[in-house]
Amino acid sequence: MNRRQFLTASAAGLTVPAAVLSQDKPFDAKPRRVGLIGSGWYGKCDIFRLIQAANVEVVSLCDVDRNMLAEAGDLMAARQRSHKKPRLYTDYRKMLAEKDLDLVEVATPDHWHALPAIAAMQAGIDVYLQKPISVDVVEGQALVAAARKYGRVVQVGMQRRSTPHLAEARNEIIKAGKLGKVGFVEICCYYPMRATENPPDTAPPSYFDYEFWTGPAPLRPYNSLIHPRTWRAFMEYGNGIIGDMCVHMLDMTRWMLDLGWPTRISSEGGILMDKKSKANISDTQTATFDYPDLKIVWTHRSWGKPADEKYPWSAILYGDKGTLKADVYGYDFIPNGGSAKPIRKNVVYELDKYPEDRTEKDLERHCAPAIRAHMWDWLAAVDKRTKPVADIEQGHISTASCILANLSMKLGRDLRWDPVKHRVIGDEQANTLLRRPYRQPWTHPDPDKV
């Protein structure tokens, strides 16, 4: 499905994976000028999909790994229509100071999401921000405040909301009433994704600015687990597996069921099995997100077998009329008897339409159609100056809920959340943990002063 077909089908009510659907400008209009901050794995995957989806010119790339940056520059030149190599920067502030960008993606490690995204908004640029949006709750507040103050359209990389088969499940199973009343949802990840190595500390590579990469986070001794990609082994840079994987499934569930903030969050777990690795994130964790008449329960284990080997990273929605199992590869509707028939739908890869997806290094091919659709939704919202399907506020709710789960596990108690005051009710110790300390000279963003 190309962009025009996608928009036509969505406007006709067939899939509706996007909040705003229009195509006011032809594909050969003046290209939008794009910058990328963080030129690693998913940043490139996203921008390559944006190149497929729209008329854009990637004019600026930024990364503190000079080797990764140079490689990304060459790849962008090969993939984009002009074949021009983007300008290369090692400091995002210098890139934004050029003041010639229409769009920016921030695809850095999580601890570097808030500051560049806010700076881009202050520069008048619309932003695609990778998930989770923040490493603490107050960063997320500041991001929402900046988007509203500067009138920026911010799409969060929670592309389950734009995944065609999941949009179909939302519309034709849930909204059509096939599940009946949903009273319980299981969300889970059983991938063995926690680092198990224990490499020695070393000096960072000469081409990698580790001081700048660390930025506002605590400065750990460098070792090879930190860069590239395995930085998620450390809580200093993110929020563990719940911050990486639960945020997707919780956000998908909230979108499917039209849910806002949970009223109470509780979590238990820790490093129960693998005590030898240098990684300090949990290998086992459960979390419960309470809503009126509904509980969403998250489980992750980075060891052992999945509860359902067909759905190792998924959401299972239980209703009084049926059950829906959903993930990035497809969905299964299982009726609770009666005349309803089971339904199975698989992801459509679109490899004939986008043959470069077949050979692109490290691309999650099953996610490519969802990313393209997410980009189309973002661009339509940019044109209309409306909120995209994964607006920054929705990203904040899902991200902060996962952060609060980690705080619950750390404190050993349930947390009741007030979404108006943005405070944990009756727990000042928990409230002191909503803002992480920043390492000097970096300053934590303030929602009232962005």
CATH number at residue 46: 3.40.50.720
In a domain, 255, yes or no: yes
| 14 band by pLDDT with thresholds 50, 70 and 90 | very low
Does the residue 357 lie in any domain? no
Residue 438 domain-assigned (yes or no): no
For the residues 48-60, what does the mean pLDDT come to?
A: 97
> Does residue 221 have a pLDDT over 80?
yes
Does 177 map to a domain?
A: yes
302 in any annotated domain:
yes
177 and 136 in one domain?
no
- Give yes or no: residues 145 and 266 share one domain: no
67 lies in which domain range?
Answer: 3-161+368-391
Say whether both 423 and 278 belong to one domain. Answer: yes
Kindly report, residue by residue over 311-320, the tens digit of the pLDDT.
999 999 999 9
Q: How many CA atoms lie within 13 A of 360 on its CB side?
A: 25
pLDDT at 432: 98
User: Given pLDDT bands bounded at 50, 70 and 90, which one contains residue 18?
Assistant: very low
Residue 362 lies in a domain: no
Q: Span 408-434, mean pLDDT?
A: 98
Same domain for 408 and 263, yes or no, is: yes
My answer on whether 226 and 336 are in the same domain is yes
Residue 274 predicted with pLDDT over 50: yes
CA triple 303-307-308, angle to 5 deg:
120
Is 356 a domain residue? no
Quick one: 67 and 216 in the same domain?
no
Same-domain check for residues 400 and 262: yes
In a domain, 171, yes or no: yes
For 136-184, write each residue's pLDDT tens digit: 999 999 999 999 999 999 999 999 999 999 999 999 999 999 999 999 9
Residues 261 and 172 in one domain: yes
pLDDT for res 13 = 36
Mean pLDDT of 370-381: 98
- Among 197, 132, 188, smallest CA distance to 301 is for 188
Domain co-membership, 142 together with 187: no
Question: Does one domain contain both 189 and 329?
Answer: yes
- Is 190 in the same domain as 175? yes
Give the pLDDT band of residue 30 (cuts 50, 70, 90).
confident
| pLDDT score, position 339 | 87
Share of the chain above pLDDT 90, in %: 92
Residues 8 and 69 in one domain: yes
| CB distance 422 to 310 below 8 Å | no
Please state the domain count of the chain: 2
